[in-house]
A and B are shown apart, each in its own frame.
Chain A
Amino acid sequence: MEIVPGLTISLSMIVSFMVKISMVLFLLLSLIMIRQGTLMNRVVNIPIGKSLKLLIWGYFLFSLLMTVIVLLA
């Protein structure tokens, strides 16, 4: 599909753009999850809560890495 002369928009381009936007949104959601995990652990302080916090941070860092890779690809 050639909307702008010289620029062909393919299905892959549209999907790729949407995937990138979604990954950034997931990154934001994982940031919110970090905050929520901290608050949950403050409301109910369970000994294993620190390990869960590490797990959430791990997820955030992993999603950050993946988002950077996909955005730069």
Chain B
Amino acid sequence: MPEVFNSGKANLESEEIKKLLGEKPSGSAFSSCVMRPHKVRFESQQDDETVLVLGRKHFVTNFGWIAMVCFAVVVPFVWGEFPFLQALDGNTLVSVTILWYLALLFFGLQSFLMWFYNVYIITNERLIDVDFVGLLSKTVNVAQINNVEDVNYTQKGILASFFNFGDVIVQTASEQRTPDTAGEGSAFTFGSISCPDKVVQVINQLTEEVDKTWK
């Protein structure tokens, strides 16, 4: 096949990318930012597409619900202090306690799943932003690297500065008509991700290389 037909899918793995990502996979499955994740695939992945970065919100962003669960775990130990619950008989009180812990487990599990599967993926060809909202809805945004116009990142607050996380906002050439479920600035907003500077560098490098390929 003439070389011109392959120009759009040139091998984007340059020395700069290798330097940014490293040669080997880094980070475990629970990490907030995994470079070259091992055995990770996504729904619309093509055969010649390689996942370069898999990321999710920084683990620190879970501290809110973890603190709430820790507090709620001890609440049944002080049931006796609530006048309403004092009026209940023993069996009912046990039922209420079981329901409380079931609800707590459900909330914890649900919050963890939302954190774990709300990911962004950078491949050598595309950017994918997967947003699950609640149990029943999901939004998957996909953009070709050659459609990326600007990449910005912001870090706000003490926690973000201390733990090095922030929002990466990617502007694409085409108008995004996807419903913006989280009220984000762009459909491609990777919220509260760790090492936003590195992610921006990777996207910029990929964009530059695609531009060079097209020229």
Contact = CB atoms under 8 A, between A and B. Distances in A.
Interface of A: 11-12, 15-16, 19-20, 22-23, 26, 29-30, 32-33, 36-37, 39-48, 52, 55-56, 59, 62-63, 66, 69-70, 73
Contacts of A55: 109
User: Which of A23, A36, A47 has the most C-beta atoms of chain B within 10 angstroms of its own C-beta?
Assistant: A36
Interface of B: 29-30, 37-43, 54, 87-89, 91-92, 95-96, 98-99, 102-103, 105-106, 109-110, 113, 116-117, 119, 121, 130, 132, 135-136, 138, 140
Contacts of B38: 47
Contacts of A33: 106, 109-110, 113, 135
B113 A40 contact: yes
B95 A43 contact: no
A68 to B, nearest CB: 12
A39 B42 CA distance: 11
Nearest to B85: A15
Contact of B106 (A26, A40, A41, A70): A26
Contacts of A20: 95
Contacts of B117: 40-41, 43-44
3 pairs of A and B residues whose beta carbons are closest in the complex: A40-B117, A48-B29, A45-B41
Contacts of A44: 40, 42-43, 117, 119, 121, 130
B94 to A, nearest CB: 8
Most buried by B among A19, A47, A66, A69: A19
A32 B118 CA distance: 18
